[in-house]
């Protein structure tokens, strides 16, 4: 990573951000595809063995931790750190700073989490075979995939479409992180949690005082992650909290804020390494999950719950919420958008992938049967949502281009 300075010297444009998300989405998809191929090939034994290699560090109390576990609890913290930076910038200088503009996509994000969770729970209850602890699996939206598809297939859509999607996805991330912290924490150790929070507070004090020394900040970040791991709270939460402490307003003499500069520096690592590595170890699921055939897997309640939660629940929750609220003064829909646009946007939000896979890991760690079905449901549900979204985006592009929108309002030039 480039050296941290107290005068960020690089710029950060929307186009660059979209391009990086597009790249990240591509890398994520390729890693998941390779994992799926390996898991369903003669090399499946080698792949499973690689995932289960134990990499303990007894000297610091980590007695057992597999490669796959390191991918989800360790390197994925980089992704969540970038998420924290994005959240901070959105709250301070972005769409979330104005509740009047953010109220409808925020409400849509909530509806887009409640309905999938209900569909998951009902499907599991009907199946009667267990797995209810995975209820939060389909509540997430994968911003890397969504923005990547929007950049490629959404050229010509009005700017409010992108703003609505990004606001919804950011709120979705925040709520998803909250669910992980509250419902997927085991054996909470309050002492270590307080130590981790104190370390994060020290990190925040330093960056807000203008101390941008990488040799100091990176070790502090690693310590905060380690103490969070010992506390029993999922360690990636430390990444989010660290990101939220970074100042999002430029100091005197700086061209851009430190949060923007750090996001620019760390985003490539997140997109090119953290996300693909996690996807490689999480997405390698046999198509014949469990002990049956692929057809048997498609009928499994956990698979159906995850699949339908993302593919049906996400767009249904978002569309229904907007349809019910958009005429109210406090939840006004932008004049350049209509409910057909929200239908296309909701389909795009059905791509869960990264956070959905992570929640599946947390919900079913130790229950490999459930985990395989859940991951297969997330992968096939997300891919199906992505394919459908491509057609929906092109449909809406044709409409808006036909309306001869101002070219300056296009999602991409």
Stretch 14-28: mean pLDDT: 60
Angstrom distance (rounded) from CA 372 to CA 139: 18
Residue 259 included in any domain: yes
Stretch 55-76: mean pLDDT: 84
Beta bridge partners of 62: 57
Stretch 356-381: mean pLDDT: 87
Residue 7 included in any domain: no
Stretch 370-375: mean pLDDT: 89
Does the pLDDT of residue 314 top 90, yes or no? yes
Does the pLDDT of residue 108 top 90, yes or no? yes
What CATH code is carried by the domain that includes residue 115? 1.20.1530.10
Q: What is the mean pLDDT of the chain?
A: 84
Residue 196 included in any domain: no
Over residues 316-361, the pLDDT tens digits come to: 999 999 999 998 888 888 888 999 999 999 999 999 888 888 898 8
DSSP state of 72: I
**Radius of gyration of the chain from its Cα atoms, rounded to whole angstroms:** 21
Residue 102 included in any domain: yes
Residue 362 included in any domain: yes
Q: What contacts 119, CB < 8 A, 6 or more positions away? A: 138, 305, 308, 309, 312, 313
At residue 2, the pLDDT reads 41
CB 308 within 8 A of CB 381: yes
Whole-number Cα distances in Å, 289 to 134, 362, 413: 17, 18, 44
Residue 198 included in any domain: no
Q: For the chain, what percent of residues have pLDDT higher than 90?
A: 33
Please tell me the least confidently modeled range out of 57-61, 73-77, 128-132, 256-260: 57-61
Residue 1 included in any domain: no
Over residues 257-308, the pLDDT tens digits come to: 888 889 888 888 888 888 889 889 888 878 876 666 778 788 899 999 999 9
Angstrom distance (rounded) from CA 113 to CA 103: 16
The range of the structural domain enclosing residue 158 comes to 15-184+234-409
At residue 159, the pLDDT reads 81
Half-sphere exposure of 403 toward its Cβ, with a 13 Å CA cutoff?
Answer: 14
Domain count, the chain: 1
Does the pLDDT of residue 12 top 60, yes or no? no
The confidence band for 199, taking pLDDT boundaries of 50, 70 and 90, is very high
Residue 22 included in any domain: yes
| pTM of the complete model | 0.77
The confidence band for 309, taking pLDDT boundaries of 50, 70 and 90, is very high
Angstrom distance (rounded) from CA 305 to CA 382: 13
């Amino acid at each position: 990573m480039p050296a941290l300075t107290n005068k960020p010297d690089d710029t950060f444009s929307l186009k660059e951000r979209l391009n990086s998300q597009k790249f990240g989405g591509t890398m994520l998809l390729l890693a998941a595809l390779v994992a799926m191929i390996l898991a369903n090939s003669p090399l499946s034994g080698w792949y499973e063995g690689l995932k289960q290699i134990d990499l303990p560090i007894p000297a610091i109390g980590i007695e057992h931790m597999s490669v796959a576990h390191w991918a989800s609890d360790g390197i994925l913290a980089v992704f969540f750190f970038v998420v924290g930076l994005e959240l901070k910038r959105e709250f301070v200088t972005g769409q979330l700073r104005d509740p009047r503009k953010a109220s409808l996509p925020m409400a849509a994000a909530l509806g887009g989490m409640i309905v999938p969770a209900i569909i998951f729970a009902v499907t599991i209850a009907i199946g009667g075979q267990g797995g209810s602890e995975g209820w939060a699996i389909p509540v997430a939206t994968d911003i890397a995939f969504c923005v990547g598809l929007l950049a490629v297939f959404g050229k010509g859509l009005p700017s409010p479409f992108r703003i609505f999607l990004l606001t919804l996805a950011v709120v979705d991330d925040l709520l998803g992180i909250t669910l992980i912290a509250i419902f997927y924490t085991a054996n909470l150790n309050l002492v270590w949690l307080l130590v981790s929070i104190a370390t994060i507070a020290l990190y925040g004090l330093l960056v807000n005082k203008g101390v941008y020394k990488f040799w100091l900040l990176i070790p502090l970040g690693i310590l905060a992650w380690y103490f969070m791991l010992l506390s029993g709270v999922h360690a990636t939460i430390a990444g989010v909290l660290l990101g939220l402490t970074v100042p999002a307003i430029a100091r005197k003499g700086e061209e851009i804020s430190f949060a923007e500069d750090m996001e620019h520096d760390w985003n490539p690592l997140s997109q090119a390494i953290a996300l693909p590595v996690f996807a490689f170890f999480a997405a390698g699921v046999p198509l014949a999950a469990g002990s049956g055939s692929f057809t048997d897997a498609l009928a499994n309640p956990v698979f159906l719950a995850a699949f339908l939660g993302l593919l049906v629940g996400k767009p249904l929750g978002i569309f229904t919420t907007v349809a019910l609220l958009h005429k109210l003064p406090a939840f006004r829909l932008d004049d350049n958008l209509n409910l057909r646009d929200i239908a296309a946007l909701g389909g795009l939000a059905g791509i869960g992938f990264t956070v959905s896979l992570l929640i599946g890991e947390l919900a079913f760690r130790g229950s490999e049967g459930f985990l395989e079905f859940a991951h297969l449901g997330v992968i096939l549900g997300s891919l199906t949502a992505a394919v459908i979204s491509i057609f929906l985006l092109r449909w809406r592009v044709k409409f808006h281009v036909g309306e001869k929108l101002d070219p300056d309002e296009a999602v991409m030039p």
